[in-house]
Amino acid sequence: MPTRGLRLALDVAVRLLAMFAVLSCGARAAAQTSAATAPGSVGNAEVRDEGIPIRSELVRAKCGSCHRSDQQQRLSRISYRRATPENWERTIKRMATLNKVDLDPADARAILKYLADHQGLAPDEERPIAFEAERRMLEYTYMADKDTADTCSSCHSMARVLAERRTKEEWELLVAMHRGYYPLVDNQPMNGGQGFRRTRPAQTEPGPDGRPPDNRHPMDKALEHLTKTLPLTTSEWATWSAAMQSPKLAGRWAIVGSAAGKGAVYGTVVIAADPGAPDNFTTDTRYTVARTGETVTRTGKAIVYTGYQWRGRGGDAQPWREVLFVERDWRNMWGRWYTGSYDETGIDVKLVRLGSEPMIFGASVTALKSSSTAMPVKIFGANLPATPRVEDVGFGQGVSVARIVSARPDEIALEVNVAPDALIGPRDVSVGGTAMPSALVVYDRIDGLKVNPAAGMARVGGNVFPKQLQQFEAVGINNGLDGKSGTADDLNLGIVSVKWSLEEYPATFGDDDVQFVGTLDQNGLFTPSGDGPNPKRTGNRNNVGDVWVVAELAPGGGGAAAAASGPPAGAATTVRARAHLLVTVPVYMAWFETEGGR
């Protein structure tokens, strides 16, 4: 065991090494500018003249005191990097918190806008990692290089790395910065691999494929991969930066979305341009939850970065963030709206620009059971006929419209009959001269259930830290024409009304997690318990643990509101399905909080 004096000496040594790494980082940053403009070569490598000029007087004034400029108006470090708005924002915040850069909010927003527009990512570079900005909880595996993925994703998502483009020197400086700020990364094993430097004896035997062992340091291999795969200059950026312009998005747009636990949402958003600020917009949004009829309205504002990255926010008591990808035709957008303390509550949305022609968004039901009469159905859309006739609406063979209940340009309510011999399968819905393919399905029974997500996560909180909720939904399954489950012709019947419960997930002897982790309501929403410690638990433990989330559909069941909110009765026997739920601790340190629609 080291003595106190030895521990103190070791601590001082670590701090000195960290300071040396940071100072080396700064020295190399200054050298980078002169090297980029110097003719000839450094060592045996020819120096290329690269880097992006900074023509913003604000950026040069606020950043130029530390980032040196050259004759081509290139600033050290800054001119040799491209990144998403979120990554540039992280950098600006780090400059303010660690380097004491004095920026008022308006200047910070202007700097962010300039850098994201002039040194951002092209649409084709951003598209594969759009989930990062959308704050989706998913399992992503970077397949291009396992060593790089293991090294980088131990501390943050690999998508954060893929949201950058840098020169070789700039990637090296990024590594130096990591080693300066976090000196333990050199020797701390990551994801079962190694740290930035070698922490295991060099391999001496050939690999399984017979090749000689690769004994380069892990970070050297990662640097080689990053330099080759994510360079500063790419054909995608060269093409987009030349074609990029402020998108003209003002107008009326259709909303087609899906909310976990609620199902389809349909509506419209009116987007207005801010005449005093290019790329800034205001929004007036209205949508309806198809199953329940719940209507939501809210106003908001947004800004578009790099010609295609929509970042918005709206709402009052519970603000919603909006992250959308604007397609190049300016007629389609897609992405995610989200809220919650951990961004866990969200709606997947697609927006389509509306004209004067009629358009069907979808229906209030996702499935119709054979041998049903007077089933209430609503068709949602835009520019629908104000006085439709029964014969103007179609669902295919075996499904007939009994009567039109009401009609508006955005909604037609009707009743339908489904014949006993109606063939099961997807059905198109048509109104007048427009149709929506596979808007719903016809089925004869519910053969099984599927609980989404299959593995969920919640976080205790409420006393000191916020809670993270987890929404589950039960989806009905029909085995299709072949009568076999798990085959290509299985029919997804959409959300069904079920009985929800929690069961113990036995991980240890005498497990009692189900008594303490939280509650599950009959809409499938799990709310965790408060942060502990809990004196009622053995060992004064926190209210964390593992449980099963169980959905059960009784014979003939489908819920009292099935006719209005999902497939009606149709289960021949009791059907059950379950999902795993991990209830864990809060996030004690938030490394990054986005400002949303600035």
Task: Please report the pLDDT score of residue 87 as a whole number.
Answer: 96
- Helix (H) / strand (E) element for 158: namely helix 158-162
pLDDT tier for residue 569 given thresholds of 50, 70 and 90: low
What average pLDDT does this structure show over 511-534? 95
Give residue 32's pLDDT. 47
Over residues 97-154, the pLDDT tens digits come to 888 899 999 999 999 999 999 999 999 999 999 999 999 988 888 999 888 888 888 8
Average pLDDT over residues 486-514: 94
- Please, is 72 exposed, middle or buried when counting C-beta atoms within 10 Å of its C-beta (0-12, 13-18, 19+)? middle
Q: Which of 23, 45, 29 is nearest to 173 (CA)?
A: 29
Res. 31: pLDDT tops 80: no
Structure tokens at 531: 């942060």
Kindly tell me if the per-residue pLDDT of 8 is higher than 80. Answer: no
Q: What is the pLDDT of residue 594?
A: 53
pLDDT (average), residues 190-206: 61
**CB 369 within 8 Å of CB 418:** yes
- Rounded average pLDDT over 333-338: 98
Of the candidates 340, 302, 50, the residue with the CA atom closest to the CA atom of residue 168: 50
pLDDT at 318: 78
Residues 499, 447: contact at Cβ < 8 Å? no
Output the 3-class SS for 291-309: CCCCEEEEEEEEEEECCCE
pLDDT at position 62: 95
Q: Is the pLDDT of residue 68 over 80?
A: yes
Instruction: Decide if pLDDT at 432 tops 90.
Output: no
User: Residue 521: phi, psi to the nearest 5?
Assistant: -85, 175
Nearest to 324 by CA among 126, 50, 100: 126
Give the pLDDT confidence score for residue 385 in this predicted structure. Answer: 95
**Which range is most confident: 212-216, 524-528, 536-540?**
524-528
Q: How confident is the model at residue 170 (pLDDT cuts 50, 70, 90)?
A: very high
CA dihedral 189, 192, 196, 202 (to 10 degrees): 100
Q: Averaging pLDDT over each range in 92-101, 199-208, 209-218, which range is the top one?
A: 92-101
Average pLDDT value for the chain: 87
Residues in the chain: 598
Task: Say which residue, 19 or 172, is predicted with more confidence.
Answer: 172
Output the pLDDT for position 496: 96
Q: Residue 218's pLDDT is what?
A: 75
d(CA 566, CA 257) in angstroms, rounded, equals 17
HSE (CB half, 13 Å, CA atoms) of 290? 32
- pLDDT value at position 593? 56
| Mean pLDDT of the 467-476 span | 97
pLDDT at 107: 96
Q: Is it the case that residue 22 has pLDDT exceeding 50?
A: no
Domains of the chain: 21-200+216-240 (no CATH), 251-353 (2.40.128.120), 359-443 (2.60.40.10), 448-584 (2.60.40.10)
Closest CA to 266 of 411, 437, 406: 411
- The stretch 389-395 carries a mean pLDDT of 96
Q: Specify the range with the lowest mean pLDDT, choosing from 371-385, 427-441, 570-584.
A: 570-584
DSSP-assigned beta bridge partners for residue 418: 372, 399
Question: Which pLDDT band holds residue 304 (cuts at 50, 70, 90)?
Answer: very high
Distance CA 73, CA 428 (A): 59
Band of residue 539 on the pLDDT scale cut at 50, 70, 90: confident
| pLDDT exceeds 90 at position 40 | no
Average pLDDT rounded to a whole number, residues 435-464: 96
Mean pLDDT of 483-491: 95
> 364 pLDDT exceeds 80?
yes
Peptide bond into 453 cis (omega under 30): yes
Q: How large a percentage of the chain has pLDDT more than 90?
A: 70
479 pLDDT more than 90 = yes
pLDDT of amino acid 43: 38
pTM of the model: 0.87
* 193-202, 233-242, 413-422: range with lowest mean pLDDT: 193-202
Mean pLDDT, range 526-549, rounded to an integer:
93
Q: Is pLDDT at 316 greater than 90 in this prediction?
A: no
Q: Is the pLDDT of residue 21 over 90?
A: no
Given a cut of 60, whether residue 480 has pLDDT beyond it is: yes
Q: What percent of the chain has pLDDT over 70?
A: 83
pLDDT bucket at 46, cuts 50 / 70 / 90: very low
Average pLDDT over residues 328-355: 96
